[in-house]
Amino acid sequence: MNNEKTHLLVIDDEVNYLLVLETLLRDAGYEVTALSDPETALAFLDDSEVDVVITDMKMPRVSGGEVLARVKKNWPHIPVLIMTAFGSIESAVDLMKQGATNYITKPFSNDELLLSVQNAAELARMHRQYRILHESLEDRYGKHRIIGNSRAMRELMSLVDRAAPSRATVLITGESGTGKELVARAIHFASQRSHEPFVSVNCMAFNSGVLESELFGHEKGSFTGAVAMRRGRFEQADGGTLFLDEVGELSPELQVKLLRVLQERSFERVGGSAEIQVDIRVVTATNRDLLAMVHAGTFREDLYYRLNVVHIPLPPLRERREDIPLLVAHFTEKCCKENDLPLKTFSTEALNYLVGYEWPGNVRQLQNVVERCVVLVSGQEITLEQLPPEIRDEEAQFKSAVDLLPVQLDLADTLERIEAALIRRALVRADFIQANASKLLGISKSLMQYKLKKYGITGH
């Protein structure tokens, strides 16, 4: 990672000595937070990003040993360097056993200190890379397989494969729960950036001011509460992919800032003036109609075109029902494995209902239903009666469909239109095999043929 300073937290109860250390380390190019009270320092660790902790050993109330123990417990990846005036071999060995990275005995020369700090900083950098790699591996081989064999999904996968290697920004759209985040990850892991970080930010989860510092970071003291420099997500994603979810929620000010980063590949932290260069690939997602927002003047047109270089629309699940059995099998297997259960199955009848349901919450809803059934049903087979009522309840589905019709209508004409629509739907669902479609509708083949003729419905 470039453009970043290693952030040191120095703890020593002797204020004058602390000041000397602070100046020395800052002059050596480190970002330094110096605190004389260990409790304050531990609280500081809670909401700041610290790379290395340097602490004195002998302090009233809270000792260096205790600081070490608490850091190792809560932030095991942060190296701790101990300064001790009592360089007895036993206590030094003890400290190393408890996880201290190194210790230096007071009084020490400047060079001695700087060398130890440099080693600890290097260790911190390795830890960070390891964590990123570890998360990447997990992402790659674990959770993020896209399931689907419908034409729509096959086209989508081919689009992902073609878009992934480039640096082009990608806009993913689709209803809630259709798999937008999954696709964003798939793009990252199919790209050359796959060993670099994938950083995801949900723009709806923060208010505008907080989001700005979340994205771009801030300098120490840039606003009340900015007690230390903080790197933003853009810096964290350097070299990798930044995924901005719910991008339609960005305020006009942040839209301008985002546009600038996309154009110039650089930005400043909040309250800072230093230009920070980043190499990132931006992928965004939304379930809102961005183009309509552009027309309404709430989303910048220039930004829209920057984000929409490659557009990946995700179809709702009800438009690719042939994927439902595959998804059901996938989620069943995964859930049984995770809960140490023998593999369960859905009865044919139950599966038919799952395939026929409208799935307003798309794949996420399907996943929840499958998991609920797998966990709650004790037998090996999950039957129709054991599906959640909203899926099984034909009466409720029928009623809500009827509720959508206008009140004033011509009864005969409406019934005919509904009949024609149902026949068309059955044909689509039966892959245009008339015999199967007539079975779905519970009518004879000859009646089916008569109706097809009557409504002028032909093959595809």
49 binds ligand ATP (CB under 6 A): no
Shortest spacing between CB 321 and Mg ion, in angstroms: 22
Which residues from 163-202 bind ligand ATP, rule CB under 6 A?
A: 174, 176-182
Burial class (CB in 10 A: 0-12, 13-18, 19+), 29: exposed
Q: Which residue is nearest to Mg ion (CB)?
A: 181
Choose the binding region for ligand ATP from 66-74, 142-150, 233-241, 341-349 (rule: CB under 6 A).
142-150
147 binds ligand ATP (CB under 6 A): yes
4 binds Mg ion (CB under 5 A): no
Shortest spacing between CB 282 and ligand ATP, in angstroms: 16
246 binds Mg ion (CB under 5 A): no
Shortest spacing between CB 144 and ligand ATP, in angstroms: 7
Whole-number Å distance between alpha carbons of 270 and 261: 14
User: Reduced to 3 states, what is the DSSP secondary structure of residue 137?
Assistant: helix
The residues near 317 (Cβ < 8 Å, ≥ 6 apart) are 178, 323, 324, 359, 362, 363, 366
Q: Which is nearer to ligand ATP, 322 or 419 (CB)?
A: 322
Q: Which is nearer to Mg ion, 7 or 180 (CB)?
A: 180
Which residues from 224-263 bind ligand ATP, rule CB under 6 A?
A: none
Backbone angles phi, psi at 198, to 5 degrees: -110, 115
Place of tokens 């790699």: 133
Buried b (16+ CB within 10 A) or exposed e, 95-107: beeeebbbbbeee
Q: Which is nearer to ligand ATP, 160 or 427 (CB)?
A: 160
User: Quick one: tokens of 88?
Assistant: 């007895």
Q: Which of 101, 236, 284, 367 binds ligand ATP (CB under 6 A)?
A: 367
Shortest spacing between CB 185 and ligand ATP, in angstroms: 8
Whole-number Å distance between alpha carbons of 293 and 450: 47
181 binds Mg ion (CB under 5 A): yes
Shortest spacing between CB 298 and ligand ATP, in angstroms: 19
Q: Which is nearer to ligand ATP, 369 or 427 (CB)?
A: 369
Shortest spacing between CB 73 and ligand ATP, in angstroms: 32
The residues near 169 (Cβ < 8 Å, ≥ 6 apart) are 262, 281, 282, 283, 284, 306, 307, 308, 309, 310
The residues near 31 (Cβ < 8 Å, ≥ 6 apart) are 5, 6, 7, 8, 228, 229
Q: What are the percentages of helix, strand and coil residues in the chain, rounded to 5? A: 55, 15, 35
364 binds ligand ATP (CB under 6 A): yes
329 binds ligand ATP (CB under 6 A): no
- Residues of this chain that interact with Mg ion (CB under 5 A) are 180-181
- Residues of this chain that interact with ligand ATP (CB under 6 A) are 146-148, 174, 176-182, 287, 363-364, 367
